[in-house]
């Protein structure tokens, strides 16, 4: 049986934002298993967020932006690897469940949903920071407050969907698979722009 609830995951995501420099520090709360994969995924999303911001700068040398883009590729690969590890761990826990003949295949995996919860936590964290700014007009604050409310609603909805999928999977009513991402652009054997350079 899977003792995992979306509310616990969301609380964990939010708690990491409260630790200054957590993502870059490498400090880990979980050393193995499902929660390590969840933590690794969230760390990658936090690092990706920062690199994506930096990649939008216009007042730095192109070489710095190129370095940001390479860092984004590396983080994105690790992020997807962590999603697959989340799904592997969950499917191992569900291995003894007998699927019903009419079991529904979910096109989105639990790992994919957990990744989306991580990204939503980042959006919520940063949007909430916008609502606390003192250097902007009231209209900006009100706009960000409305967006924050929508993001919180979206997270609640997604959390409910994740809990439902896991509960149905535990009863054999639904199932999901590990969907390999095969990021071809990161593999020099599969990216023609890279392997073509050798010719």
CB atoms within 10 A of CB 41: 26
Three-state secondary structure call for residue 21? coil
Task: Give the span between the Cα atoms of 122 and 80, in whole angstroms.
Answer: 17
Structure tokens given for 112: 């994919």
62-93 and 33-55 helices, crossing angle to 10°: 160
H or E segment to which residue 105 belongs = strand 104-105
Question: pLDDT (tens digit, 9 = 90+) per residue, 137-172?
Answer: 999 999 999 999 999 999 999 999 999 999 999 999
3-state helix, strand, coil in the chain (%, to 5): 70, 0, 30
Distance CA 135, CA 129 (A): 12
Question: What's the distance, Cα to Cα, between the start and end of the chain in Å?
Answer: 53
Burial (0-12, 13-18, 19+ Cβ within 10 Å), 25 = exposed
Residue 131: the pLDDT is 97
How many residues are listed for the chain in this entry? 199
178-191 pLDDT per residue, tens: 988 777 777 778 77
Nearest to 43 by CA among 68, 12, 64: 12
Show the 3-state SS of 157-181.
HHHHHHHHHHHHHHCCCEECCCCCC
Question: For residue 34, how many other CB atoms are within 10 A of its CB?
Answer: 20
Q: Which residues are CB-neighbours of 160 under 8 A, at least 6 positions away?
A: 6
This prediction has a pTM of 0.91
Average pLDDT over all residues of the chain: 93
Q: What pLDDT, in 10s, does the model give residues 36-89? A: 999 999 999 999 999 998 999 999 999 999 999 999 999 999 999 999 999 999
pLDDT of residue 194: 73
List phi, psi (to 5°) of 105.
Answer: -85, 120
């Amino acid at each position: 049986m899977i003792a995992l609830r979306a509310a616990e995951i969301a609380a964990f995501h939010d708690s990491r934002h409260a630790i200054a420099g957590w993502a870059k520090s490498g400090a880990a709360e979980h050393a193995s298993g499902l929660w390590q994969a969840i933590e690794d995924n969230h760390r990658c999303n936090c690092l990706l967020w920062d690199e994506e911001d930096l990649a939008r700068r216009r007042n730095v040398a192109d070489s710095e932006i190129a370095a940001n883009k390479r860092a984004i590729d590396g983080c994105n690969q690790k992020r997807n690897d962590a999603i697959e590890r989340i799904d592997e761990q969950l499917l191992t826990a569900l291995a003894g469940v007998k699927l019903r003949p009419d079991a529904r295949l979910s096109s989105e995996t639990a790992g994919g949903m957990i990744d989306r919860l991580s990204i939503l936590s980042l959006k919520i964290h940063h949007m909430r920071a916008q609502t606390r700014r003192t250097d902007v007009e009231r209209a900006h604050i009100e706009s960000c407050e409305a967006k924050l409310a929508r993001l919180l609603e979206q997270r609640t909805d997604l959390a409910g969907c994740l809990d439902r999928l896991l509960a149905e999977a535990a009863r054999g009513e639904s199932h999901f698979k590990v969907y390999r991402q095969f990021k071809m652009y990161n593999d020099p054997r599969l990216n023609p722009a890279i392997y073509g350079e050798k010719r």
